[in-house]
């Protein structure tokens, strides 16, 4: 299978439009050695040239499609390689791009859990609005690990797992976590048997989830924050990383400790990186620490062949 990283930043992207923090200002001016990044999304194909699955529809989807011609084959006057869209949650950074796909000639095949479907038909009724354009052919994801396939996306088999993270602020269950608000997906290539685990929003790793991660050849997991109090320390928020459903990388019980316990062969990648996270600065001590642990921060346009 081929995984194309369309967007590796968290909500807001990097640099964020209104942010003058050291990193956003630095990447804008060129003073910081860092790459700009669009918002959180991947495209997965059974092999290069096949139609595939779009995981999340970011607000940057049009720019992402322009930068990655594999999503736009030229087989007909109107064409796309997106066989279906699968949502990891109902947040703005993962669902707003659905509006941009409205010119389709047929209803958009959309895979999401019941809680996400509820969010996107009530609190933020994107799917109702799309009903006035191409419409949506919604397929239910059960976040219980049962296998499913997406018609048109050859050689891929998926399994979704409910994660402890957070629903969007407009969700009816923002403060009553519901299984399926956020999912992680194990993506397997049915021919090679190789697999990747993708979870851009991951607040807590349970032993059962760690077993799933341990069986994957690659993990692409929540890289939002380095420290739990990152936004508080910068005076940008009163909430910790864990408060908003993101496990920080550093510290006891943090993502680095978990990734250290994976089998040596597992590729370890961080995705959904917030603009405040010091790992974006290629010259930072934190970036060097990741390298010492064999952890790679995803970049837009990067591909993984598994
Ligand atoms: C999150 O992942 O916590 C959200 O996407 C944040 C946001 O988009 O505002
Ligand atoms: Mn997000
Ligand atoms: Zn910033």
Domain of 219 in residue numbering reads as 2-305
**Per-residue model confidence as pLDDT tens digits over 101-128:** 999 999 999 999 999 999 999 999 999 9
The enclosing domain of 197 has a CATH number of 3.60.15.10
Rounded to the nearest angstrom, the distance between the alpha carbon of 34 and the centre of ligand 3 is: 12
Distance separating alpha carbons of residues 298 and 283, to the nearest angstrom: 16
Residues with CB under 5 A from ligand 2 (ion): 11, 91, 93
CA 168 to ligand 1: nearest atom = 4
Whole-Å CA distances, 268 to 256, 262, 282? 10, 9, 17
Distance separating alpha carbons of residues 97 and 62, to the nearest angstrom: 8
The pLDDT of residue 196:
98
The pLDDT of residue 154:
98
* Of 27, 56, 179, nearest in space to 118 by CA: 179
Burial 215-243 (b: 16+ CB within 10 A, else e): ebbbbbbbbbbbbbebbeeeeeeeebbbe
**Per-residue model confidence as pLDDT tens digits over 57-71:** 999 999 999 999 999
Strands 183-189 and 156-162, sheet pairing? antiparallel
Stretch 39-53: mean pLDDT, rounded?
A: 97
Tokens of 175: 């403060």
Percent of the chain with pLDDT over 70: 100
Nearest CA to ligand 1 atom 3: 244
pLDDT at 282 over 90: yes
Ligand 1, pocket-test mutation among 8, 18, 168, most atoms within 8 A of CB: 168
**Per-residue model confidence as pLDDT tens digits over 205-214:** 999 999 999 9
Stretch 82-95: mean pLDDT, rounded?
A: 98
Stretch 252-270: mean pLDDT, rounded?
A: 98
Q: What are the φ and ψ backbone dihedral angles of 303, each rounded to 5 degrees?
A: -125, 150
Count structural domains, the chain: 1
Across the chain, mean pLDDT equals 97
Rounded to the nearest angstrom, the distance between the alpha carbon of 65 and the centre of ligand 3 is: 25
pLDDT confidence of 50, banded at 50, 70, 90?
very high
Rounded to the nearest angstrom, the distance between the alpha carbon of 23 and the centre of ligand 3 is: 6
Tokens of 115: 């809680």
pLDDT at 165 over 90: no
Nearest CA to ligand 1 atom 5: 11
The reported pTM is 0.98
Torsion of CA 210, 215, 219, 221, to 10 degrees: -20
Residues with CB under 5 A from ligand 3 (ion): 19, 21, 24, 275
Nearest CA to ligand 1 atom 7: 11
Give the residues surrounding ligand 1 with Cβ less than 6 Å away.
10-11, 91-93, 201, 244
pLDDT confidence of 74, banded at 50, 70, 90?
very high
Stretch 31-52: mean pLDDT, rounded?
A: 97
Question: What residues form DSSP beta bridges with 7?
Answer: 41
pLDDT at 273 over 90: yes
Rounded to the nearest angstrom, the distance between the alpha carbon of 188 and the centre of ligand 3 is: 35
Rounded to the nearest angstrom, the distance between the alpha carbon of 114 and the centre of ligand 3 is: 33
Stretch 178-184: mean pLDDT, rounded?
A: 97
CA 12 to ligand 1: nearest atom = 8
Stretch 216-225: mean pLDDT, rounded?
A: 98
């Amino acid at each position: 299978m081929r995984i194309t990283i369309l967007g590796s930043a968290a909500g807001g992207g990097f640099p964020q439009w209104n942010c003058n923090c050291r990193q956003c200002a630095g990447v804008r001016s060129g003073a910081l050695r860092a790459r700009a990044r669009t918002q959180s999304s991947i495209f997965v194909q059974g092999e290069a040239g096949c139609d595939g699955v779009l995981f999340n529809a970011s607000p940057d989807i049009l720019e992402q499609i322009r930068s990655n011609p594999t999503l736009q084959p030229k087989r007909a006057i109107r064409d796309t390689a997106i066989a279906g869209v699968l949502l990891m949650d109902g947040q703005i950074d993962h669902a707003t791009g659905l509006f941009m796909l409205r010119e389709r000639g047929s209803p958009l095949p959309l895979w999401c859990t019941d809680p996400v479907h509820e969010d996107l038909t009530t609190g933020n009724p994107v799917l109702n609005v799309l009903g006035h354009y191409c419409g949506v052919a919604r397929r239910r994801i059960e976040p219980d690990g049962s296998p499913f396939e997406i018609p048109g996306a050859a050689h891929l088999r998926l399994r979704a797992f409910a994660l402890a993270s957070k629903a969007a602020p407009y969700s009816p269950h923002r403060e009553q976590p519901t299984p399926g608000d956020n999912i992680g997906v194990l993506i397997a290539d049915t021919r090679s048997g190789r697999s990747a685990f993708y979870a851009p929003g991951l607040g807590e790793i349970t032993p059962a989830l760690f077993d799933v991660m341990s069986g994957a050849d690659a993990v692409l997991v929540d890289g939002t924050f380095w420290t739990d109090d990152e936004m508080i320390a910068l005076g940008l928020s009163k909430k910790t990383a864990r408060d908003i459903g993101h496990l920080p990388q550093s510290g006891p019980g943090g993502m680095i400790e978990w990734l250290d316990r994976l089998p040596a062969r597992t590729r370890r990648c961080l995705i959904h990186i917030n603009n405040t996270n010091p790992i974006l600065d290629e010259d930072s001590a934190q970036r060097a620490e990741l390298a010492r642990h064999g952890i790679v921060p995803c970049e837009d346009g990067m591909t993984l062949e598994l």
